[in-house]
Amino acid sequence: MKPLRLNGRKTNQRVLAKGKLWRGKTMNIRWMPGIPQSTWLRLKGRAPQGLYIGTFAPLSLSKRAVDRNRMRRRCREALRTVLKEFDSNAKNHREAPGGSDGTQRWSDTARGREGSREGNQGSPFCESFQLLVSPRSSSLSCDFRAIVDDVRSFFTLLRSCPQPTANAAPSSSSH
């Protein structure tokens, strides 16, 4: 699953104001379920489901733009790496025999071309999420594996989310 971009000042402000905060050792993540409202409206309800990811690094982290950009890139790469890992694990899980009769757990013919859950395009998560990642200063000098471990622990939180009761419509809020 390819991460989708979370862009737009209003969209990012909405996630900052109304999203839940997860604090890790190398990054903070504000997150909220659903598809960004601007994307939903622009694509007239056909917005792809998945993870909408945006990053920001405030000037208080470092005065040097080079350092702030490196922190953002390292966090984004860790997110991409772990998403790829989860996606391959989900594909392996779908291809594994499901029961004693040898049937597959996620049949490509029964669940759609990618073997997805209710149209989530093969997503290992139960619904769409908007993530706004803010690296911490420790992400500049720490080992890359520490950042990956942080992302894994955050994604286990997202994977344990309850199943959505209705179609994933954008979160309604006033502008």
Q: Residue 155's domain spans which residues?
A: 4-96+105-159
Flag whether 111 is in a domain.
yes
pLDDT at 51 over 50: yes
The tens digit of pLDDT for each residue in 19-31 reads: 999 999 999 999 9
Count Cα atoms within 13 angstroms, Cβ side, for 74. 26
| Res 95: pLDDT | 58
> What's the CATH code of the domain at 145?
3.30.230.10
- In angstroms, rounded to a whole number, what is the distance separating the alpha carbons of residues 36 and 12? 9
Flag whether 125 is in a domain.
yes
Would you say the pTM of this structure is higher than 0.85? no
Flag whether 14 is in a domain.
yes
The tens digit of pLDDT for each residue in 120-158 reads: 445 566 678 999 999 999 999 999 999 999 999 999 888
Mean pLDDT of 56-73: 95
Flag whether 165 is in a domain.
no
Q: Which secondary structure element, helix H or strand E, spans residue 52, and what is its range?
A: strand 51-55
User: How many domains does the chain divide into?
Assistant: 1
Flag whether 171 is in a domain.
no
pLDDT at 94 over 50: yes
